[in-house]
Amino acid sequence: LTITPFIANLPKVELHIHIEGTLTPALRWELAHRNAIPLPYPTFEDLQASYAVTLNHRPELNGRQPGIPTFLEAYFAGCEVLRTEADFYDLAMAYFHRCVDLKVRYTEPFFDIQAHTRRGVPAQAVLNGYLRAQQDAIALGVHSRWIFCFLRDEPVSAGLDAYRTARPWATVEGGKGLFHAVGLASNAYERPPMLFEEGFRLARADGLHVTMHCDFGQKDTQAHVAEAIYKVCGGLGAERIDHGLDAEEELWAGLVERGIGLTLCPHAYHRRTATEVLFPKIRRLWERGVQMCFNSDDPTLMHDVWIDGNMQKVYSYCGFSRGEMVQFVRNAVDMSWAEEDVKKAIY
Ligand code: ADE
Ligand code: ZN
């Protein structure tokens, strides 16, 4: 996939990226040595080669696929090397430096605090590392507000505890301003959004925004999208949906009427969907007036395809014009929850 100068030079806004999904093999190798954590790969080349395969979601196996690791197993295995505040800072700063190269001016990264606290890492190490990076990135010209994710395959009570712990780092009265929204990530298998209703209500009561993953091509995705549009947050619905691409036609009107945009990650779907199926589908949704923007999800676990590669794919395969591609960036600004001065600066 060749990135054309037009796509490379376009200023960008990213609304769907998991910070832990930006951990490069190089940084993972470095942190493993820094923290004396053994990796199941004897050499760096072996580690690097493990990223070349296509890792699929196998939700029906709930992360227990014999042989090759499922996508989420690989994702959480990568997290093992992250231990100290400096590790989280380095992870985030590496991403922000990548943003400079990619011309990402504003980003709303997801973070999975439970992926770390359940391994015994103090919440403060995670939150302070990310907070310091958020502040230092401004000097690089990269602004960010982050999204706290509930791990939906963990007990709801564990998510609520994690939220309460993280709350002083939110954009609440007197808070530190790291994150301004909550999301829902990890394995969606038999874990519909409404299970986390209490978490969404807590977040809304705190003045935070609410989004949630409704993964592409998973069991019950339709039902999950319907809950996200009509049921969560006391019937108000989510403000955005992450993926949501295979919402059936009867749900499109709901997305449009309620102004719920989709944060799409074309390369993630393209790994397991034919070009002639996927890109016309994206185009059809767009023509029906569903708001959308294009993002990278977990770039280092998805063949190192970042936001530029994702935008290039829709530019090349959907037949969008240059003007339409610029409009997609404006859509991302509109769909973002950036403060007005930041929005103005990007527009
Ligand atoms: N958490 C991190 N990456 C994810 C993905 N692609 N789907 C669901 N949960 C995730
Ligand atoms: Zn995602």
Candidates 215, 258, 260; CA nearest to 240 is: 260
CA of 215 to the centre of ligand 1 (A): 8
Q: How many separate domains does the chain show?
A: 1
> Is 240's C-beta closer than 6 angstroms to any atom of ligand 1?
no
Model ipTM value? 0.98
Model confidence at 66: pLDDT above 70: no
Ligand nearest to the CA of 14: 2
56 within some domain? no
C-beta separation of 131 from 178 below 8 A = yes
Ligand 1: which of 62, 191, 215, 241 to mutate, judged by most atoms within 8 Å of the beta carbon?
Answer: 215
> Is 216's C-beta closer than 6 angstroms to any atom of ligand 1?
no
- What's 311's domain CATH number? 3.20.20.140
**Structural domain range at position 219:** 5-17+82-346
CA of 143 to the centre of ligand 2 (A): 20
Looking only at the bridges linking them, the beta strands covering 179-185 and 146-151 are parallel
43 within some domain? no
Alpha helices in 258-306 (DSSP H): 266-270, 275-287
Model confidence at 64: pLDDT above 60: no
Mean pLDDT of 204-214: 98
33 within some domain? no
pLDDT digits (tens, 9 = 90+) for 98-122: 999 999 999 999 999 999 999 999 9
H or E stretch covering 261: strand 261-264
Question: Distance between terminal CA atoms of the chain?
Answer: 28
CA of 343 to the centre of ligand 1 (A): 27
C-beta separation of 296 from 306 below 8 A = yes
73 within some domain? no
Ligand 1 atom nearest 186 alpha carbon: 9
CA of 188 to the centre of ligand 1 (A): 9
**Which residues, in sequence order, are CB contacts of 44 under 8 Å at separation 6+?**
25, 26, 29
11 within some domain? yes
AA letter at 204: R
pLDDT digits (tens, 9 = 90+) for 3-44: 999 999 999 999 999 999 999 999 999 999 999 999 999 999
Other Cβ atoms less than 10 A from the Cβ of 46: the count is: 12
Ligand nearest to the CA of 152: 1
pTM, rounded to two decimals: 0.97
Other Cβ atoms less than 10 A from the Cβ of 112: the count is: 25
23 within some domain? no
CA of 316 to the centre of ligand 1 (A): 25
Other Cβ atoms less than 10 A from the Cβ of 50: the count is: 18
pLDDT digits (tens, 9 = 90+) for 314-328: 999 999 999 999 999
The CA distance from 225 to 247, in Å, is: 7
- Surface-to-core class of residue 187, CB atoms within 10 Å of its CB (0-12 exposed, 13-18 middle, 19+ buried): buried
pLDDT digits (tens, 9 = 90+) for 290-347: 999 999 999 999 999 999 999 999 999 999 999 999 999 999 999 999 999 989 988 7
331 within some domain? yes
| Residues pairing with 264 in the sheet | 294
34 within some domain? no
Q: Mutual orientation of helices 85-102 and 123-137 as an angle, nearest 10°?
A: 30
Query: From the DSSP assignment, how many helices (H) and strands (E) are in the chain?
Result: 16, 10
Largest CA distance in the chain: 54
Handedness of CA 282, 287, 291, 293 (dihedral sign): positive
